[in-house]
Amino acid sequence: MNDFRIPLGKWVDVFVEWLTTSFTGFFDVLRGIMRSMYDSLDFVLSAPPFWAIILVITAIAWFAKGWKLALGTAIGLLAIVGVNQWDNAMDSLALVILATLVALLIAIPLGILAARNDTASKIIRPVLDFLQTMPAFVYLIPALMLFRVGVVPGIVATVVFALAPGVRLTELGIRGVDREVVEAGHAFGATPRRILRQIQLPLAMPSIMAGVNQVIMLSLSMVVIAGMVGAGGLGGDVVKSLSSIDVGLGVEAGLSVVILAMILDRVTGAFGTGKKRSPARTNRAAKRTASLGKAA
């Protein structure tokens, strides 16, 4: 009985070895595409003077919630400049934005599929449980083997780690839409696609935006871990401070991560709460349902 052992690790090793040898060309192309996208986004954020980027982000914060959030955003970003972490912060922000966009491109369609199909939901949920409970460091190992050292394995590991809440909250939001409104759409002869686009998605938007917020936060939490595989940015400085026992550098990089997290959380949260369901919003959905009937 003591000799009993399931060789799961060996099976995974064989599978990853097969992937790396059989699809080397595919992963090289994918690596090149993701690297180009990251470099382009990083150039957009890093090339302009810091005050221009601060003005843009502050304006977005103002539009999202008003002058108090805008003022806090400006002060926070100036603090990052003050501790000489601006370039690293923009590198990390580029990684977070790219990873979030890729994660949402996968998560929202999966969430819609899970909301509209119970069988798909039953299959997807255990996979999401696996993704959410697996330690984040584990994702780095196959990512390193497939994409080698650099920012790309950091992006891939971040996408996998941050995917789950986007799927769950999209499914939750669509399933939570008032059934009578959906049935009214069916009664007027609207197609399932129009019901999804004009009724379910608009009414589910607060929940979807909460998912976007969680995906961004999880992506940002992976910044430090991604720094361990050469992704650079603020995570790179945190890792450097660990290896050299440099408390000052660790605090400066860590504080910059916290400031970025607070800004992204407040701004995305403000966009989400600004779209809370209200009677007026439900009435607008009802009007859209009526318009579907006229169009049908």
- C-alpha closest to that of 226 among 136, 130, 102: 136
- Quote the CA–CA distance of 73 and 21 in Å, as a whole number: 47
Q: What is the DSSP string of 246-290?
A: -HHHHHHHHHHHHHHHHHHHHHHHHHHHTT---HHHHHHHHHHHH
Kindly list the distances between the CA atom of residue 114 and the CA atoms of 46, 121, 194, 205, in Å, as whole numbers in the listed order. Answer: 39, 4, 18, 16
Higher pLDDT, 12 or 80: 80
Residue 21: what residue type?
T
The encoded tokens of residue 49 equal 């003077």
pLDDT of residue 275 exceeding 70: no
Task: Render pLDDT for 227-273 as a digit per residue (tens, 0 to 9).
Answer: 877 777 888 888 888 888 888 888 888 889 889 888 988 888 887 77
Q: How confident is the model at residue 277 (pLDDT cuts 50, 70, 90)?
A: very low
- pTM equals 0.82
- Quote the CA–CA distance of 224 and 284 in Å, as a whole number: 44
Residue 228: the pLDDT is 79
Higher pLDDT, 58 or 137: 58
The encoded tokens of residue 92 equal 């990390």
